Amino acid sequence: MSLFWRIFGLNAVVLGTATGLLLWAPVTVSVPVLLTEAVILVGGMLVMLVANAALLRLALAPLDRLTRLMTTVDLLRPGQRLPAHGMREVADLIRTFNAMLDRLESERAASSGRVLVAQEAERRRIAQELHDEVGQTMTAILLSLKRAADEADEPLRGELQQAQEITRGSLDEVRRLVRRLRPGVLDDLGLVSALTSLTTEFAAHTGLRLLRRFDTDLPALDPQTELVLYRVVQESLTNAARHAGAGRVEVSLSHTDGALLLAVADDGHGTGIGHEGAGIRGMRERALLVGATLDIVSQPAGTQVRLTVPAEKKVP
Ligand SMILES: Nc1ncnc2c1ncn2[C@@H]1O[C@H](COP(=O)(O)OP(=O)(O)O)[C@@H](O)[C@H]1O
Ligand SMILES: [Mg+2]
């Protein structure tokens, strides 16, 4: 039924009922009107208005729901849809809105996918250059310093050795940077080794206690999914160290019927994620890229980031 006839019908029902009551009820209206008659008439009108408002509210509820979804919908949490029923115009509107969300979600997933692929390529290029150019040069400097230190006398020798130490420290830093930019271990040794080395290094760097629980029978994953899992762990660990004030973080990878589950849980003070920053939005975009879902539960007892990757991945 169309919106026009629905509202017309509601009004007709209310007015018809009132007229029927007036016709059959033993009421008379005197001139001038008596107080009791006025009270009955005003009361009847109030009942009519309330009935009309209630019926209209009921009929227009789908529009309210639509407005609410329009103001809160988030393309990084796909799948929020409304059932398309109710009056014809409203059902049409909801169906059109749902179709628009379908299109926007797939366009959003495709464009953020392109951005992420480009970003990873750029990171690889920078890592390569750091490794090949800066790394090589620093290694050469280190060798020269060593030679010079071997031939020099004190106190110059001590100073050269100190310069050697500083250079070695910087070289380590460059290597760490390269590893962070391009998790080469991922290509060479696979996800579990890459995560083991990431967590070990992270624990050494931050002093946090790290627990790993990786299932042994994990299914083989394509490189893109592995990289997504790696980046989600990287960001979750950074958040645990930066925001949670945690003492312990547990990283687990498990495999249940048809889905791979990654969980990073800290024991810090989670206060609910009020405002999602670039880090969490980035994790959501990466999850979309491989058809996975990301859930974050942040409670006073700690924060848990869970990424569920379906075995039958839909890669947009
Ligand atoms: N493990 C965590 N424990 C407590 N709060 C967190 C945790 N992770 C994220 N948050 C909160 O969520 C916010 C958004 O995180 P994120 O999107 O990674 O942005 P950023 O790390 O750049 O601030 C953080 O500013 C922080 O308040
Ligand atoms: Mg962050």
Ligand in closest contact with the CA of 278: 1
The residue behind tokens 């006025």 is 38
Instruction: Of 231, 288, 289, give the one whose Cα is nearest residue 264.
Output: 231
Give the integer Cα–Cα distance in Å for 73 and 103: 14
Q: Which residues line ligand 1 (CB under 6 A)?
A: 239-240, 242-244, 266, 268, 270, 273, 276-280, 298, 303
Q: How far is CA 49 from CA 10, 43, 54, 75, 98, in A?
A: 11, 10, 9, 41, 34
Pairing assessment for the beta strands 248-256 and 302-310 based on DSSP bridges: unpaired
Q: Which two tokens stand for residue 245?
A: 């004030």
Pairing assessment for the beta strands 259-266 and 209-214 based on DSSP bridges: unpaired
Expressed in angstroms and rounded, the spacing between residue 209 Cα and the centre of ligand 1 is 19
Ligand in closest contact with the CA of 276: 1
Q: Which residue is closest in CA terms to ligand 1's atom 19? A: 277
Expressed in angstroms and rounded, the spacing between residue 206 Cα and the centre of ligand 1 is 17
Expressed in angstroms and rounded, the spacing between residue 287 Cα and the centre of ligand 2 is 16
* H helices present in the chain, as ranges: 3-24, 35-72, 88-129, 136-151, 156-181, 184-189, 191-206, 223-239, 278-289
Best probe residue, ligand 1, of 234, 239, 305 (max atoms within 8 Å of C-beta):
239
Which atom in ligand 1 lies closest to the alpha carbon of residue 281? 17
Expressed in angstroms and rounded, the spacing between residue 234 Cα and the centre of ligand 2 is 10
Q: How many CB atoms lie within 10 A of CB 107?
A: 12
Q: How many CB atoms lie within 10 A of CB 280?
A: 18
Expressed in angstroms and rounded, the spacing between residue 304 Cα and the centre of ligand 1 is 12
Q: How far is CA 216 from CA 48, 93, 191, in A?
A: 70, 50, 12
Confidence at residue 312, expressed as pLDDT on a 0 to 100 scale: 63
Best probe residue, ligand 1, of 233, 243, 267 (max atoms within 8 Å of C-beta):
243
Q: pLDDT tens for the chain, 316 residues: list them.
A: 677 887 888 889 888 988 888 888 877 888 888 888 889 889 988 998 998 888 888 888 888 899 999 999 988 888 899 998 877 888 899 999 999 999 999 999 899 889 988 998 999 899 889 888 898 999 999 999 999 999 988 889 999 999 999 999 999 999 888 888 877 778 788 899 999 989 998 999 899 999 999 998 888 888 889 999 999 999 999 999 999 989 999 999 999 888 999 999 999 998 777 788 889 999 999 998 888 999 999 999 999 999 999 876 444 4
Q: Which residues contact 209 (CB under 8 A, 6 or more apart)?
A: 203, 247, 248, 249
Ligand in closest contact with the CA of 281: 1
Give the integer Cα–Cα distance in Å for 39 and 33: 10
Confidence at residue 315, expressed as pLDDT on a 0 to 100 scale: 44
Q: Which residue is closest in CA terms to ligand 1's atom 15? A: 277
Q: With the C-alpha atoms ordered 242, 248, 253, 255, is the resulting torsion angle positive or negative?
A: negative
Give the integer Cα–Cα distance in Å for 174 and 62: 58
Expressed in angstroms and rounded, the spacing between residue 273 Cα and the centre of ligand 1 is 7
Confidence at residue 264, expressed as pLDDT on a 0 to 100 scale: 97
Best probe residue, ligand 1, of 273, 285, 297 (max atoms within 8 Å of C-beta):
273
Judge residue 100's burial from the number of C-beta atoms within 10 Å of its C-beta, 0-12 exposed, 13-18 middle, 19 or more buried.
Answer: exposed
Expressed in angstroms and rounded, the spacing between residue 6 Cα and the centre of ligand 2 is 51
Which atom in ligand 1 lies closest to the alpha carbon of residue 302? 3
Give the integer Cα–Cα distance in Å for 108 and 114: 10
Confidence at residue 104, expressed as pLDDT on a 0 to 100 scale: 94
CB 173 within 8 A of CB 165: no
Q: With the C-alpha atoms ordered 255, 256, 259, 265, is the resulting torsion angle positive or negative?
A: negative
Q: How far is CA 281 from CA 49, 106, 167, 251, in A?
A: 48, 17, 37, 20
Ligand in closest contact with the CA of 282: 1
